Each structure stands twice: as structure tokens, then as C-alpha cells.
């Protein structure tokens, strides 16, 4: 059983934590030892959020190591750009083409990097960088807050295997009244990859 | 069956399985979710106390009465509760008492990174430290047994990484635990429980003897164990750090410590004589290292690893490579190059949420140019640019006392102290009384969002709802403040910035001690949301005034500002400040 380390990066309020919870449960369903770590600072909205999910035969630390992450899922462009040093050479990156400028940018103290800059940072480190319009897809299924499940859909295509494992976990973890929308978000995401 | 649980969920589950009947806590990251989760189990009583000292006294009382009890707090919360911790060690208890206390190495959400292992030595009681969620569940039970066996409270230490990481936990298949028996009467034993000096003098030798016995227990307990492997390097580690170290040294011989005070001297000697080099990997203070060096054992420790900050497998690996203990696995130049490129990206510091009432308050305070003595809560973010309207923050409840002291020092600044509703109940009432008693003209602003917001929306005495969802007597802040003797008091909605600015000036000019309650419920808690305003890009002069609110949905484009409707809460503060009247909101 080959280990797989995932890193999810986003901005507080984007649903990074729920998505990483789902991803961890999928790993457990698939028979892996699983650990998950998340860092969210003191802000409930608007700060950097990173979440590590590790699948493996036996996992010790809940967070991955530099140069050893297999999949990076960026919920926001700038946040995706922070992690090249953490990626394996054969890593795959999914970036949601969506930007939330931090206050430093709005106050003119820093420049939000161009898409090409982030792309080249990541391409230098990883073997494949997939840009998706995930937030648009989430809006189409009815709520931009489903972005996490859209991105998981894309990830499930990249990983291969039985999509029903993912859907059963989504079913377990999402409130019933939002289930239909989240299933649609998952399918929309699957088509993006 | 295994279930993924955070460390905090597992502590709560362990307490429930071990028959804990009473739990008390004050919320504090990263400890909050322990009591939150515990409160949902059947047959238990759980409360949010006004502060950690009250919580610990409550738990001590229940344990005095013969019930198993749990108190939880973050590391600095134990400073607040320290007085109670020390007397409880002297008196001992009847039922088991476990105190789960969460350190925050790296200061993800704290004002310091004190290492609370020192409290175990300082107050003279045992401390356990689990390394994953499964152990978190088990150690609560072990701590309770130890507490009852040795007649002492037991500390269980966690860190942010353990509390907030999820790892598999074996679920009990025995069904719900036997409901613990309710004690019928309190067993009165004043010689043991009244700590007048005459009694306390008899207790101190008992405590010293107990610590020696606990040291022997530490040698015997299976939670301290040698894990045999390659004896060239022998690692001593505990807690979350043990897991990081295992990641880097999967095959080394380990001394895994589950009981971190008192330390197992015999086991340490056996371990040291077995391995070639002893390496101690511990976050923060050299707590193990100082003890083990005093035993005359040569070790590598803080000469290899930092005293400061949170550890990770990556950090441990780097330190060990630098010290020549292992070979590098990633080419260091490659890692450094891509780290440097990423480090050049704009940072994203935490900011107030869109729709937060505090934003109106701090905008008014900034414009007034007053000296602001702050406190601990979401509103501490009023310090950050562009609001930049807070000039001190130390610990819970410090704002008002510091303001009073600055006033007494005789500075000419206009002075306000700012603290939140939950912080006010925690430790703001005494200093507020002091301002009246000892006569300064400090204006205190209680920024009341009607919930303990920063830790994730917990109830408090001002909400009228208990942790377990019961409606209860609500302590009204305004009535309380008036009853202390404040006759100058106003309640203002911080969304109404013009009015708030007027009230502030009125209070500052009055020369009297006064209180302003800036009242606006947390929008994340109420889930209140209005239609986002729209910026007329033709009328926008790109002056940047709205951006000075520091509100993330306001986005600087090339020649104008726009509002991201996904993130906007529709509070309308930007509509109020726009000098060009270019921001329009439907009524």
C-alpha cells in the first residue's frame, strides 16, 4: 500500500476543513491508516488555512514532510503558490482559479501574483498542474460554498478508483438537505479533471 | 470499530467512558472542543464556567464529593487557575480529578508559548502526555485511576497539533458505561480539606512522599516504555513530538514517555546504558533534558533542536541532518530555492470577518486617535493594519487594569480600554470596579457580540444559555455595570459609526469613569447576512477609504474597487465611509 500525502490550502471560510475531513474518511474507507492535521490561525474568516491528510500503511505524524506531498489542492490561487517546497517531483497540483486578495494587497503594500507566476512556481516543483474554474462550477450547482466537494470530485478523477466510496462518505458527512447539491458538486468536479 | 477523532474529541470520549460525571472549562484554543464534545454525552453535567479558575474549583468540588471530574483549559488558562491547582494538590480529593491542559507551541492562537510541563514539577503533581487520539482516550482513564490511587489531581498535557489532528480511535463495543453512583452526602474531613497553615503543614510532607512514590510508579507503568530498535541512536520523546520523531527515525530505539512527570529514573538509566547516543527530542523547554543531565547522563538535546516554536517531522529532520545524525533526503538547495520563491508571496494575516461589528468600533477608535488598551478576543485583530487601533494586549482581562495604571502614570493621552463580553465575564469585572474605587477617568468599551466568538461561539453568562443548551438566568452586562456604580453608560450599535463616534467624544470629555457597550451580535454566530452592496465603478474615485476598513471582500482592481459578493456579509460599513457615495446598498 503506497502512501499518499495530500495538502489542502485555502482561506478561512472556504470549506477547506470539511473537504479534508471527507478526504480523511475516504482514506479510512479504502483501508489506509489515516491521520489529518490542520492549521487555522485565530481568524475564523480570511486567514490562511492548511490541512494535511495522510494515507498510508502506517502513518506516524499527522503532517507531511517537505518535498514529500503527493497532491496539493489549492482552494485559492495565492494559497496554492505557497507550497512548492513541500511537493514531490511527481506531485500533482489542482488549483482553483479564484483569488481572494489579502489585506496587504488591498492596501497597496504587496502585489497579488499573476496566474502565470503561480503556475511557474508550481510547475517547477510538480509534474502536473491542473487549473480548474471550481468556484464557477460550485456556483452553477447552486452554492459557491460547495467548492470543497467540487475539488474533491476533481481529485477523485485524478486518483482513479471507485467514485462510490467518495459519494458514500459525502452522504455521511453532509447535512441531508444539502446532499443533492453536494453530489452535483462532486460530479461537476469529476468532469474538471 | 475505528473512528477518526481529533485529540480533543478523544479526550472527551475517554472521559465519558471512564465515568466522569462533571466537567467544567472556559473555552480557549486549542482546548475548547474537549468540553464541547464531552457535554453531548448522556448522563454528564458539563459547563462553561466564567473563567478557568472557577472551572477548576468546580471540578475540585465534584471530586471532593466523590465524583470523577474533568477540567479543561488552554495553557495560559492554567495560570488563571494556578491558585486552585496548588491547593488541590495539598488537599487531595475523593473522586478522580483530571485536568486536561493544552499548550500551543508555535503560538497559533496564544499570547505566549509557555511549557506547562513546568506546572507539574512546580505544583508537585503527575502529568501524562498522549501522542495520538487513541492515547488521548486511554490516558484520561489512566489519569483518573492514578488520581484515585495517589489522592492527587493529574494533569494531562496536549498540544495544538494533538488536539486538532484526527487519528483513528478504537470505539468501545461495551455500550454506554455504567452511570456512576451519585454520592449521597458529603463526607466532612476538615483536617484534610481546610488549608489553614496548621493543616497545610501536615500536608506538605505527604505531597513530597507522594512524588517519590509516583516516580517509582513512573518506572513501572506501561505508558513509559522502551521500544527496541537500532541501538545506535536512542530517542527520548513524548506526545505529538514522539510521532514526528518516529517519522524521521522509524527504526531507532525509543524511550516513549507517556508519563512526563515524575520521570522514570530507573528506566531512563536502563535506556541510556543500552543505546550509543541518547537524543532527547522535546518541544519548548529542556524539561526532560535538564532532569536527565542532572542524572549524569550525556545527551543531545537543545544543542540540536530549538527552544522556540512548534516542531514537525521536517524540522526534526533538518536539525538531525545539520547535527550529522542522519543523511539529507531532499537536496537542501532545491528545497531552499522553492521556499524562498514562496516566501516572497504576499502574506495573509488573520483579519476580522466580513460583517464583524468590531470593525465599526475600531474604525471609530482609529479616527479618534485615542490610546487603546486591548484584551484577548477576536477584537485583538483591531491591532492589525489598516485598523491599527490597539496599543497593548497582554492576557485575559488585562485591558482595564493597564488603562487605569496608564491613567495614574499621568499621561495626557485620551485612554480607552476595550474588551469583549466573554472576556468581561472572565476577568473584567474586578478591574472595572477598581477604576471606580481608585478613581481614574478611564472609558471602558465592552465590545459585546453576545457569544465567545474567537474560540468558535461558546455560550457565557451573558447569553442566558448553558453549554448543554438549557435556558438559564442571563446576567445583563448593562445592569451589572450600573450596579457597580457606573452612572455614565451608553449602549451603541458599532454599525452606526457616526453615533458611536459622538458617544465616544462625549465620554472622553466627561472626565468621568465610564462604560460604552458596543453591542452587535457576531454575524457568523447569528448567520445574519444582507444583500452585498455594489460599487458603481464609474463613480468610484479609487480613493481607498473603504479599503481602510480592512474588509476582505473589498478588492482593489486596476482603477477602482469592487466587492466580492461571495465573501461580503452586507453590513454596509463601506457604504457609510465612501466619500464619493459610490457604494450602493439596496434597502
Distance CA B502, CA A61 (A): 55
Query: Does residue B116 share a domain with residue B248?
Result: no
Query: Does residue B172 share a domain with residue B187?
Result: yes
* pLDDT confidence band for A56 (50 / 70 / 90): very high
Query: Does residue B439 share a domain with residue B421?
Result: yes
Task: Report the pLDDT value the prediction gives residue B339, as an integer from 0 to 100.
Answer: 75
CATH of the domain at A105: 3.40.920.10
Q: Tell whether A28 lies on the interface with B, counting CB pairs under 8 A.
A: yes
Domain boundary among B200, B220, B240: B220
Query: Does residue B280 share a domain with residue B214?
Result: no
Cβ within 8 Å, pair B351-A33: no
Distance CA B548, CA A103 (A): 9
In a domain, B195, yes or no: yes
Q: Tell whether B165 lies on the interface with A, counting CB pairs under 8 A.
A: yes
Query: Does residue B269 share a domain with residue B251?
Result: yes
Cβ within 8 Å, pair A113-B345: yes
In a domain, B441, yes or no: yes
Q: Tell whether A104 lies on the interface with B, counting CB pairs under 8 A.
A: yes
Per-residue pLDDT in tens (0 to 9) along chain B, 587 residues: 899 999 999 999 999 999 999 999 999 999 999 999 999 999 999 999 999 999 999 999 999 999 999 999 999 999 999 999 999 999 999 999 999 999 999 999 999 999 999 999 999 999 999 999 999 999 999 999 999 999 999 999 999 999 999 999 999 988 777 766 777 799 999 999 999 999 999 999 999 999 999 999 999 999 999 999 999 999 999 999 999 999 999 999 999 999 999 999 999 999 999 999 999 999 999 999 999 999 999 999 999 999 999 999 999 999 999 999 999 876 666 667 777 878 889 999 888 999 999 999 999 999 999 999 999 999 999 999 999 999 999 999 999 999 999 999 999 999 999 999 999 999 999 999 999 999 999 999 999 999 999 999 999 999 999 999 999 999 999 999 999 999 999 999 999 999 999 999 999 999 999 999 999 999 999 999 999 999 999 999 999 999 999 999 999 998 999 999 989 999 999 999 999 999 999 86
Q: In 3D, which of A157, A134, A135, A167 has the Cα closest to residue A25? A: A167
Q: In 3D, which of B455, B555, B345, B382 has the Cα closest to residue B109? A: B455
Range of the domain at B309: 225-336
CATH of the domain at B31: 3.40.50.970
Domain boundary among B194, B220, B246: B220
Nearest CA in chain B to A109: B346
Residue found under cell 505531597: B207
Query: Does residue B313 share a domain with residue B400?
Result: no
A12, A42, A60 ranked by CB distance to B109: nearest = A42
A45 contact residues in B (CB cutoff 8 A): 353-354, 524, 552, 567
Distance CA B230, CA B276 (A): 10
CB contacts < 8 A (A, B): 181
Query: Does residue B141 share a domain with residue B101?
Result: yes
Query: Does residue B262 share a domain with residue B318?
Result: yes
Nearest CA distance, A160 vs chain B (angstrom): 23
3-state SS track over B486-542: CCCEEEECCCCHHHHHHHHHHHHHHCCCEEEEEECCCHHHHCCCCCCCEECCCCCCC
Residues 94-133 of B with CB under 8 A from A: 108-109, 132
A141-169 pLDDT, tens digit per residue, is: 999 999 999 999 999 999 999 999 999 99
Task: Report the pLDDT value the prediction gives residue B105, as an integer from 0 to 100.
Answer: 97
A34, A36, A60 ranked by CB distance to B247: nearest = A60
Cα torsion at B8, B349, B76, B224 (round to 10°)? Answer: 50
Task: Report the pLDDT value the prediction gives residue B106, as an integer from 0 to 100.
Answer: 94
Nearest CA distance, A179 vs chain B (angstrom): 20
A36 contact residues in B (CB cutoff 8 A): 4, 165-167
3-state SS track over B241-266: HHHHHHHHCCCEEEEEECEEECCCHH
CATH of the domain at B324: 3.40.50.920
Task: Report the pLDDT value the prediction gives residue B334, as an integer from 0 to 100.
Answer: 65
Query: Does residue B538 share a domain with residue B515?
Result: no
Cβ within 8 Å, pair A62-B348: no
B381 contact residues in A (CB cutoff 8 A): 42-43
B330, B341, B564 ranked by CB distance to A121: nearest = B341
In a domain, B347, yes or no: no
How many domains in chain A?
A: 1
Task: Report the pLDDT value the prediction gives residue B262, as an integer from 0 to 100.
Answer: 98
pLDDT at A45 over 80: no
Query: Does residue B24 share a domain with residue B168?
Result: yes
Distance CA B82, CA B99 (A): 12
Query: Does residue B330 share a domain with residue B312?
Result: yes
Domain boundary among B501, B526, B551: B526
Q: Give the DSSP per-residue string, B139-176.
A: HHHHHHHHHHHHTS-EEEEEEHHHHT-EEEEEPP-S-S
Cβ within 8 Å, pair A24-B347: no
A109 contact residues in B (CB cutoff 8 A): 346
Task: Report the pLDDT value the prediction gives residue B338, as an integer from 0 to 100.
Answer: 73
Residues 353-382 of B with CB under 8 A from A: 353-354, 378, 380-381
Distance CA B170, CA B540 (A): 59
Cβ within 8 Å, pair A36-B339: no
Distance CA B20, CA B14 (A): 9
Cβ within 8 Å, pair A60-B246: yes
Residue from A11, A12, A51, A61 to probe the interface with B (highest B Cβ count within 10 Å): A61
ipTM: 0.94
Nearest CA in chain A to B550: A103
Looking at the DSSP assignment, which residues form a beta bridge with residue B373? Answer: B392, B417
Which H or E run includes A138?
helix A134-141
A125 contact residues in B (CB cutoff 8 A): 338
Task: Give Cα separations from B318 to B106, B325, B585 (angstroms).
Answer: 17, 10, 54
A24, A67, A104 ranked by CB distance to B335: nearest = A67
How many domains in chain B?
A: 4
In a domain, B150, yes or no: yes
In a domain, B454, yes or no: yes
As given in the structure block, the three cell numbers for residue B144 are 483518573
Nearest CA distance, B474 vs chain A (angstrom): 26
Contact between residue B447 and residue B420 where contact means Cβ atoms under 8 Å apart: yes
Query: What's CA B226's distance to the chain center, in Å?
Result: 33
In a domain, B343, yes or no: no
A168-181 pLDDT, tens digit per residue, is: 999 999 999 999 99
Query: Does residue B473 share a domain with residue B460?
Result: yes
Task: Report the pLDDT value the prediction gives residue B332, as an integer from 0 to 100.
Answer: 62
Q: In 3D, which of B361, B366, B386 has the Cα closest to residue B377? A: B361
Task: Report the pLDDT value the prediction gives residue B183, as an integer from 0 to 100.
Answer: 74
In a domain, B234, yes or no: yes
Cβ within 8 Å, pair A124-B338: yes
According to DSSP H, which parts of B304-462 are helical? 313-322, 332-343, 357-368, 398-409, 421-423, 429-437
Cβ within 8 Å, pair B341-A24: no
Distance CA B299, CA B281 (A): 10
Range of the domain at A33: 4-192
pLDDT at A43 over 70: no
Share of chain A above pLDDT 70, in %: 97
As given in the structure block, the three cell numbers for residue B375 are 484584551
CATH of the domain at B565: 3.30.70.20
Residues 143-182 of A with CB under 8 A from B: 144
Mean pLDDT over all residues of chain A?
Answer: 94
As given in the structure block, the three cell numbers for residue B105 are 507551541
Distance CA B53, CA B523 (A): 30
In a domain, B103, yes or no: yes
Amino acid at each position: 500500500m503506497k502512501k499518499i500525502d495530500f495538502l489542502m490550502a485555502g482561506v478561512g471560510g472556504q470549506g477547506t476543513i470539511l473537504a479534508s475531513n471527507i478526504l480523511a474518511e475516504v482514506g479510512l474507507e479504502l483501508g489506509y491508516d489515516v491521520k489529518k492535521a490542520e492549521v487555522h490561525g485565530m481568524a475564523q474568516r480570511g486567514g490562511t488555512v492548511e490541512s494535511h491528510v495522510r494515507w498510508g500503511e502506517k502513518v506516524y505524524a499527522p503532517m507531511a514532510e517537505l518535498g514529500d506531498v503527493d497532491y496539493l489542492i489549492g482552494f485559492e490561487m495565492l494559497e496554492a503558490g505557497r507550497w512548492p517546497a513541500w511537493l514531490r517531483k511527481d506531485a500533482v497540483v489542482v488549483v482553483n482559479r479564484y483569488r481572494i486578495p489579502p489585506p496587504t494587497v488591498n492596501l497597496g503594500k504587496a502585489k497579488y501574483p499573476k496566474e502565470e507566476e503561480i503556475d511557474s512556481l508550481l510547475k517547477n516543483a510538480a509534474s502536473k498542474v491542473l487549473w480548474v474554474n471550481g468556484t464557477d462550477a460550485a456556483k452553477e450547482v447552486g452554492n459557491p460554498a460547495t467548492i470543497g466537494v467540487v475539488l474533491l470530485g476533481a481529485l477523485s478523477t485524478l486518483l482513479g478508483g471507485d467514485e462510490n466510496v467518495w459519494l458514500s462518505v459525502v452522504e455521511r458527512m453532509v447535512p441531508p438537505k444539502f446532499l443533492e447539491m453536494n453530489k452535483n458538486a462532486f460530479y461537476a468536479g469529476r468532469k474538471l479533471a | 470499530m475505528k473512528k477518526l477523532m481529533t485529540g480533543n474529541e478523544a479526550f472527551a470520549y475517554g472521559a465519558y467512558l471512564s465515568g466522569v460525571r462533571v466537567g467544567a472549562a472556559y473555552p480557549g484554543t486549542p482546548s475548547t472542543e474537549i468540553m464541547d464534545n464531552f457535554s453531548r454525552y448522556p448522563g454528564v453535567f458539563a459547563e462553561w464556567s466564567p473563567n478557568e479558575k472557577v472551572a477548576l474549583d468546580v471540578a475540585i468540588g465534584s471530586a471532593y464529593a466523590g465524583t470523577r471530574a474533568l477540567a479543561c483549559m488552554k495553557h495560559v488558562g492554567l495560570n488563571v487557575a494556578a491558585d486552585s491547582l496548588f491547593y488541590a494538590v495539598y488537599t487531595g480529593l475523593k473522586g478522580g480529578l483530571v485536568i486536561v491542559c493544552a499548550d500551543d507551541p508555535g503560538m497559533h492562537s496564544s499570547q505566549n508559548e509557555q511549557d506547562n510541563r513546568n506546572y507539574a514539577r512546580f505544583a508537585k503533581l503527575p502529568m501524562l502526555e498522549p501522542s495520538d487520539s487513541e492515547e488521548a482516550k486511554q490516558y484520561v482513564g489512566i489519569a483518573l485511576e492514578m488520581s484515585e490511587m495517589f489522592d492527587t489531581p493529574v494533569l494531562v498535557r496536549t498540544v495544538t497539533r494533538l488536539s486538532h489532528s484526527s487519528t483513528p480511535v478504537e470505539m468501545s463495543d461495551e455500550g454506554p458505561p455504567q452511570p456512576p453512583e451519585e454520592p449521597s452526602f458529603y463526607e466532612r474531613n476538615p483536617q484534610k480539606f481546610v488549608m489553614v497553615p496548621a493543616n497545610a503543614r501536615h500536608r506538605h510532607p505527604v505531597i513530597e512522599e507522594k512524588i517519590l512514590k509516583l516516580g517509582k510508579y513512573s518506572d513501572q507503568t506501561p505508558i513509559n516504555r522502551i521500544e527496541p530498535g537500532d541501538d545506535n541512536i536512542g530517542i527520548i520523546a513524548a506526545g505529538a513530538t514522539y510521532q514526528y520523531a518516529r517519522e524521521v527515525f522509524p527504526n531507532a530505539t525509543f524511550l516513549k514517555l507517556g508519563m512526563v512527570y515524575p520521570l522514570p529514573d530507573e528506566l531512563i538509566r536502563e535506556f541510556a546504558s543500552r543505546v550509543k547516543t541518547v537524543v532527547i527530542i522535546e518541544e519548548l523547554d529542556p524539561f526532560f533534558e535538564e532532569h536527565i543531565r542532572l542524572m549524569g547522563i550525556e545527551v543531545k538535546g537543545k544543542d540540536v533542536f530549538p527552544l522556540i516554536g512548534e516542531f514537525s517531522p521536517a524540522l526534526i529532520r533538518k536539525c538531525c541532518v545539520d547535527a550529522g545524525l542522519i543523511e539529507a533526503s531532499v537536496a537542501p538547495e532545491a528545497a531552499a530555492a522553492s521556499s524562498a520563491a514562496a516566501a516572497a508571496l504576499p502574506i495573509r494575516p488573520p483579519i476580522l470577518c466580513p460583517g464583524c461589528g468590531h470593525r465599526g468600533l475600531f474604525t471609530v477608535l482609529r479616527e479618534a486617535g485615542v490610546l487603546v488598551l486591548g484584551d484577548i478576543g477576536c477584537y485583538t485583530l483591531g491591532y492589525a493594519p489598516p485598523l491599527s487601533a490597539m496599543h497593548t494586549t497582554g492576557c485575559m482581562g488585562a485591558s482595564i487594569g493597564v488603562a487605569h495604571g496608564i491613567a495614574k502614570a499621568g499621561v495626557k493621552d485620551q485612554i480607552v480600554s476595550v474588551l469583549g463580553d466573554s472576556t468581561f465575564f472572565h476577568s473584567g469585572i474586578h478591574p472595572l470596579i477598581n477604576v471606580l474605587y481608585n478613581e481614574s477617568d478611564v472609558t471602558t468599551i465592552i465590545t459585546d457580540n453576545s457569544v465567545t466568538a474567537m474560540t468558535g461561539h461558546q455560550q457565557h453568562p451573558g447569553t442566558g444559555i448553558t453549554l448543554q443548551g438549557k435556558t438559564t438566568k442571563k446576567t445583563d452586562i448593562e445592569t451589572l455595570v450600573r450596579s457597580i456604580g457606573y452612572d455614565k453608560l451608553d449602549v451603541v450599535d458599532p454599525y452606526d459609526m457616526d453615533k458611536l463616534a459622538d458617544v465616544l467624544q462625549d465620554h472622553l470629555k466627561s472626565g468621568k469613569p465610564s462604560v460604552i457597550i458596543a453591542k452587535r451580535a457576531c454575524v457568523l454566530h447569528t448567520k445574519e447576512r444582507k444583500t452585498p452592496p455594489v460599487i458603481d465603478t464609474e463613480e468610484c474615485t479609487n480613493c481607498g477609504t473603504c479599503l481602510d476598513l480592512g474588509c476582505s471582500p473589498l478588492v482593489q482592481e486596476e482603477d477602482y474597487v469592487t466587492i466580492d459578493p461571495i465573501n461580503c456579509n452586507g453590513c454596509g460599513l463601506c457604504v457609510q465611509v465612501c466619500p464619493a457615495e459610490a457604494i450602493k446598498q439596496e434597502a
